Amino acid sequence: MAMTDPIADMLTRIRNAITARHNKVDIPASRIKNELASLMKEEGFIRNFKTVSDKKQGVLRVFLKPQTEDSTYAIRGLERVSKPGRRVYVGKKDVPKILNGMGVAVLSTNKGLISDHSAREIGVGGEIICKIW
């Protein structure tokens, strides 16, 4: 059966791995998932990621980042905003701030996947993919 929303699947796998207190999570790889993982690493939400080849499409292995010694994670929450059934677009003046700048909104623009503060800096809008805090 085909997966209708692979980004939501990726976010759910990460959310479940955090709840189960795993150090890493394996996700079926794709170009947009690699870009999203790269952005999450850049923003400090994950420790690292790598693509492991297999016989099919490959596996994206995401290494989660513990925040403190009491084993809480840097990611407190993940939310899918734009879905296949309802796309959410914003203009350059309407790019949202997540938790007054403590979180990140990931936007898909003509410049690729970028964070909300980068979008405001460049002056572009786009599709809000997800929110991470």
Pure H helices in the chain: 6-19, 31-42, 116-122
Domain limits, the chain: 6-64, 78-132
Q: Within 10 A of 42 (CB to CB), how many other CB atoms are there?
A: 13
Please give the Cα distance from 107 to 114 (Å, whole number).
Answer: 5
Instruction: Please give the CATH number for the structural domain made up of 78-132.
Output: 3.30.1490.10
Supply the pLDDT for residue 73. Answer: 85
Instruction: Please give the CATH number for the structural domain made up of 6-64.
Output: 3.30.1370.30
The answer to whether the CB of 27 falls within 8 A of the CB of 59 is: yes
Supply the pLDDT for residue 54. Answer: 87
Digitized pLDDT (tens) for each residue of the chain, 133 residues in all: 567 999 999 999 999 999 999 999 999 999 999 999 999 999 999 999 999 998 888 999 999 988 666 667 889 999 999 999 999 999 999 999 999 989 999 999 999 999 999 999 999 999 999 999 9
Supply the pLDDT for residue 66. Answer: 82
